[in-house]
Amino acid sequence: MSFFNREAETMSLSQLRRLQNERLQDKVNLLYNRVAFYRELMTAQGLVPGDIRTTEDLYKLPFTKKDALRQQYPFGLFTCSRSEVARLHCSSGTTGKPIVVGYTLNDVDLFAEVVARSLSAAGCRPGMLLQNAYGYGLFTGGLGLHYGAEKLGMTVLPISGGGTEKQLMLMQDFQSEVICCTPSYALTLAEEIRKKAIDRSRINLKYAVLGAEPWTESIRAAVEEGLGVTATNIYGLSEIIGPGVSQEDYEEKGSGSYIWEDHFYPEVVDKDTGEPLPYGEQGVLVFTTLSKEAMPLLRYWTNDITSIYYDKSAKRTHIKMAPIAGRADDMLIIRGVNLFHTQVEAVLEHIPELSANYQLVVTHNGTMDEVEVKVEAEASLFEALSREHTEVLECERLRTAMAHLRKKIKDDIGLSMNASLSEPGAIPRSEGGKLNRIADLRKH
């Protein structure tokens, strides 16, 4: 069975609501009493803690946005003194100071609990060997997965991201059963296995737990085929705790990821108006942390675009979220049409001649924005063509595939894009971490 904490994962919705409300009241009180930022924010709205009794009262509070975390740098949002904090992490923050997050020992344990639940849902079992190729350090991925895997009773190989040769050597020598990394790095590993013609019987991987960046079914298919695994999605962000906020079950692939909602209360709101949206509608994901001690957050605006919904036929009672379409600030607006790169990735899934390696290049041609999709041919097809000394760019099958790609992009996304075939290996690969799939060459 894939439960780590069956009682918590399957509690009835009425129990869950009761627990959420009790925990919410505690956190609102704590923040009002200990964190000037939240006291002032509530006072400005004419609110006292007694006004927020249930999750249905949350709408009365404004959102907490990334800027607030920057302004309170480094420890201004902590409910306790720095000396009571057991661990600090930072998220990258593209410019200036990073976002700082703090964990008490109980928070470290909570982090391990939600990751242990996530790994169980991903298919991992006590005693399995987990190769942890998420970056260790200030990024929450490495240590987050590490503690959760240990809590579940797994053997952890803390190899961190990058160093592909060594990853593959230890993967074979130690017979790793689980790989944790970004989906783009899983593709890099799969590609290297193929290039080096490593005997697949020497690879013992069964599961891949992939996250930290958006990905779609085309990447899943390539990773599952290339590594011989069942691949599931893990989602999270430092501000809320790190990876393990939500996780897909290995037997319910494609139906969304469970949000551990006894600890993280989700809302999806309209990205422009902030109005709460009904289940199933796509908007910005917002979280209220219900159990964290050092740095609880109320209505934290993640900027991630998705939808949430209950899945009545699922193993667990907790709500699910759809794969992240992208971050609101990474959304391109091309000739008035909103575009996430995952939409192009989703089209690639239907064209087997093309690989999951692609990049979007955005330019401005003097009058309007243009998008070019650079994509590579599927590796085995390319190899077959090379063996026959066929000029790949002349190949009829690929010409048809590219025409299909252009048409399907136009039909599905409503935008005309140029599409060009790149030499295998020409498109940037992940060297261990997150991969940027967009080259925006417009002048801003």
State the residues that interact with ligand ADP by CB under 6 A.
Answer: 91-92, 140, 211-214, 233-238, 302, 304, 324, 327
DSSP assignment of 146-160: HHHHHHHT-EEE---
Cβ 328 to ligand ADP shortest distance, Å: 9
Closer CB to ligand ADP, residue 21 or residue 184? 184
Structural tokens at position 429: 């690969």
Identify which of residues 90 and 277 has a Cβ nearer to ligand ADP in the complex: 90
How does DSSP classify residue 64?
B
Shortest Cβ distance from residue 270 to ligand ADP (Å)?
18
Q: Which is nearer to ligand ADP, 28 or 360 (CB)?
A: 360
Q: Which residues contact 377 (CB under 8 A, 6 or more apart)?
A: 353, 354, 355, 385, 392, 398, 421, 424
CB-based contacts of 317, cutoff 8 Å, min separation 6: 9, 10, 11, 12, 13, 16
d(CA 258, CA 278): 18
- CB nearer to ligand ADP: give 135 or 226: 135
Q: Of the two residues 284 and 348, which places its CB atom closer to ligand ADP in the complex?
A: 284
Q: How far is the CB of 186 from ligand ADP (least distance, A)?
A: 12
What is the closest distance, in whole angstroms, from the C-beta atom of residue 51 to ligand ADP in the complex? 29
Q: Cα-atom radius of gyration of the chain, to the nearest Å?
A: 23
Q: Which is nearer to ligand ADP, 11 or 237 (CB)?
A: 237
Write the single-letter amino acid at 381.
L
CB of 87 to ligand ADP, least distance (A): 15
319 with 310: CB under 8 angstroms?
A: yes
Q: What is the 3-state secondary structure (H, E, C) of 11-61?
A: CCHHHHHHHHHHHHHHHHHHHHHHCHHHHHHHHHCCCCHHHCCCHHHHHHC
User: How many CB atoms neighbour CB 366 within 10 A?
Assistant: 5
Residue in the shown chain whose Cβ atom is closest to ligand ADP: 92
Question: Do 304 and 285 form a contact (C-beta atoms < 8 A)?
Answer: yes
Least Å distance, CB 59 to ligand ADP, is 22
DSSP secondary structure code for residue 241 in this structure:
T
Note whether 361 and 439 are within 8 A (CB).
Answer: yes
Contact 373, 420 (CB under 8 A): yes
| Alpha-carbon separation of residue 239 from 2, 93, 149, 198 (angstroms) | 27, 12, 21, 40
Considering the complex, what minimum distance in angstroms separates the CB of residue 423 from ligand ADP? 29
| Residue 306 bridge partners (DSSP) | 283
Distances (CA, A) of 279 to 40, 85, 87, 263, 321: 31, 36, 35, 19, 10
CB 134 within 8 A of CB 142: yes
> Smallest distance from the beta carbon of 431 to ligand ADP, in angstroms?
16
**Minimal distance in Å, beta carbon 417 to ligand ADP?**
22
- CB nearer ligand ADP, residue 164 or residue 238: 238
Q: Closer CB to ligand ADP, residue 52 or residue 324?
A: 324
CB-nearer residue toward ligand ADP: 21 or 160: 160
- Residue 212 vs 259, nearer CB to ligand ADP: 212
Query: Cβ 113 to ligand ADP, closest distance in Å?
Result: 18
If the CB atoms of residues 119 and 385 are measured against ligand ADP, the closer one turns out to be 119
Closest distance of CB 306 from ligand ADP, Å: 8
**CA of residue 357 relative to chain centroid, distance:** 18
Residue given tokens 């036929």 in the structure block: 313
